[in-house]
Amino acid sequence: MELFKCLPMIEDLTISNRLFQFWWFYEDLYSKGLNGLELRTSLDHLQCFRVEDMYFTGRMDLVFILSVIRCSPNLEKFKLHMFGELKESEWNSRTESVTHEDYPDIWLENLNELEIFNFGNSKQELDLVKLILANSPMLKKLSLFPYRKITKDEEMSLLEILLHSPRASPMVEQLIVKK
């Protein structure tokens, strides 16, 4: 958290999920949740935020991402590179989803592009996309790149879910790119 105090002018930030593996205070942060994780600085200049090798095996991954987003009012691009498919047997019992109701203070007023690479269509990934859709009035481009080739039926099912999800932006393009 001290690092972010030194970065108030940063415009482009890339973080690897490996960061989460070394948090000695992981358990303490989990017990506090999003409200307990305060960056104590505003990242007013942050325009592009990338997270690489994300693997939803614990709630802190999501909590950390949402806390950075929450203190970045001018964020324009968010790119998430998933590590790959998360099998149900690999889920941490604390892996939870996020909803618009859980995080009413997150508002991505300037976000216009969301890209998720190696999208696995897990509940956690889909709920994160729905949260961003519901809180991004300027979102124009949503690109999901599945970790594997998906069928036309899977693509249509995913599109139907996203089209029926609450959206703050009337002009979002939902694009699923097959590998």
- Per residue in 38-54, pLDDT (tens digit) is 556 788 899 999 998 87
Q: Quick one: tokens of 120?
A: 């696995």
Helix 26-36 vs helix 59-70: angle between axes, to the nearest 10 degrees?
40
Band (74; pLDDT cuts 50, 70, 90): very high
Residue 107: give the domain boundaries. 2-176
Q: What pLDDT was estimated at residue 50?
A: 94
Domain count, the chain: 1
Band (34; pLDDT cuts 50, 70, 90): very low
Would you call 174 helix, strand, or coil by DSSP? strand
Report the run of H or E that residue 118 belongs to, with start and end: strand 113-119
Q: What pLDDT was estimated at residue 94?
A: 44
Q: Is the pLDDT of residue 93 over 50?
A: no
Q: What pLDDT was estimated at residue 91?
A: 45
89: domain CATH number is 3.80.10
